[in-house]
Amino acid sequence: MSERIITGIDVGTYQVKVVIVRIPKGKNDGALPQIIGTGFAESRGLRNGYIINDSDVVRSVRSAVAQAEKAAGVEVKRAYVAIGGIGIDEITSRGEVITSRADSEITQHDIDKATQDSEDRIQDNIPNRKVLHAIPLAFYIDNELVLGKPHGMHGTKLEVESLFITTFEQHLNDLVVAIENAGIGVEDIMASPLAASFVMLTKAQKRAGCVLANIGAETVSIAVFENSVPISIKVFPIGSNDITNDIALGLKVPLEEAEKIKRGGMTSTNYSRKKLDDIVAARLTDIFSLIDAHLKKIKRDGLLPAGIIITGGGSGVNTVQDLARAALNLPSRIASLETNTNSKIKDASWAVAYGLCMWGANDISDNSPITAAKKAKNSFVNWLSQFLP
């Protein structure tokens, strides 16, 4: 097996981050890819995660990629890319099929047809949207829940309940065009919350049930896991910039100073510490209330044993862990990013870009029984088994 170079590009609202990894010849399964280059640049031309100025985004991507290429000593020609922002949404659907074999044995063909039927049923409900990922949540044979895979079992009717992660088709096309205009071929596209989960969550957490919350600059994204499968993805149009704005208004200070205060870089006594804590707590409570409302909607509030794992720029606020625990009635912790030794990655803000590399490094055979993610160009990638223990 020859050496492989894999690149992940995270076009965030605050920064574009690029990670390049090397997979040595004969890499042992379970060993982390070697990070050989990273690069970042200030994001320009984006708002709430979607592109409003293509040329600005192209320049930001080129700058971040050039920095990573210089560090790695390689030229990036293709990359895995994350898409986030408020355009990400979800919809569930149920499809069914009558088994095709005379002996009623369920084949992969039947599973594919049932999954396709579940997708066909949502098309009229998602105008202007494109399916990014199709995730089977449960299978039923003759109205009975299947514990495990239905392949090889027997029955007259096969049903599948599927979760579809969607985004605005225009947003997706704009992102692909921007990356390609920067001289990089798009290998595949993944929703940012799922990409981050590859490196921010343990198998035990995903198996028990948890929610990964990424508090970004302008958005908060969550990915909910149960029984090792992502069961919900949601993005809210609120972020850590709102905390900065609240501090600026509440303390009557410039935005630059408010940002430093939020990050703990200002120790001036010209403001009341209690007033600052109250301002920050109010906005974070709003954020966790939105998350709690969504968990109630999917009937998982207070029912995720591994609790909430918090990442992103907003995770650096001192009281965030306690506020999350109180608002959600769940265990709470700040996520930590584990990489190989001597890593060029220093904090969890690199999780999405690094997670894309991990996704690309763990190819799944085309014989995988469940196809769970759709490429941007209408082909499929089998990846669900990467979530499994």
* Number of domains making up the chain: 3
Which pLDDT tens digit goes with each residue over 119-161?
999 999 999 999 999 999 999 999 999 987 898 899 999 999 9
SS3 279: helix
Among candidates 163, 136, 178, which has minimal Cα distance to 233?
163
> What's the confidence (pLDDT) of residue 363?
57
Q: Is the domain of 258 the same as that of 316?
A: yes
CATH value at residue 154: 3.30.1490.110
Q: Is the domain of 343 the same as that of 256?
A: no
> What's the confidence (pLDDT) of residue 237?
92
Q: Is the domain of 111 the same as that of 259?
A: no
Which pLDDT tens digit goes with each residue over 14-68?
899 999 999 877 655 556 788 999 999 999 998 878 899 999 999 999 999 999 9
> What's the confidence (pLDDT) of residue 34?
87
Q: Is the domain of 287 the same as that of 208?
A: yes
Name the pLDDT band for 340 (thresholds 50, 70, 90). low
Give the pTM.
0.87
Q: Is the domain of 222 the same as that of 105?
A: no
Q: Is the domain of 103 the same as that of 126?
A: yes
Q: Residues 6 or more apart from 268 whose CB is under 8 A from it?
A: none
CATH value at residue 184: 3.30.420.40
Q: Is the domain of 102 the same as that of 39?
A: no
In this predicted structure, the answer to whether residue 83 has a pLDDT above a threshold of 90 is: yes
Q: Is the domain of 94 the same as that of 234?
A: no
Q: Is the domain of 236 the same as that of 220?
A: yes
Q: Is the domain of 348 the same as that of 269?
A: no
Residues 171, 291: Cα–Cα separation, whole Å: 24
> How many C-beta atoms lie closer than 10 Å to residue 44's C-beta?
15
> Can you give the residue range of the structural domain that contains 322?
203-334
Kindly provide the b/e burial profile for residues 258-270, where b requires at least 16 CB atoms within 10 angstroms of the residue's own CB. Answer: bbbbbeeeeeeee
Running DSSP on this structure, what letter comes out for residue 349? G
Residues 92, 118: Cα–Cα separation, whole Å: 8
In this predicted structure, the answer to whether residue 286 has a pLDDT above a threshold of 60 is: yes
In this predicted structure, the answer to whether residue 329 has a pLDDT above a threshold of 70 is: yes
Q: Is the domain of 211 the same as that of 299?
A: yes
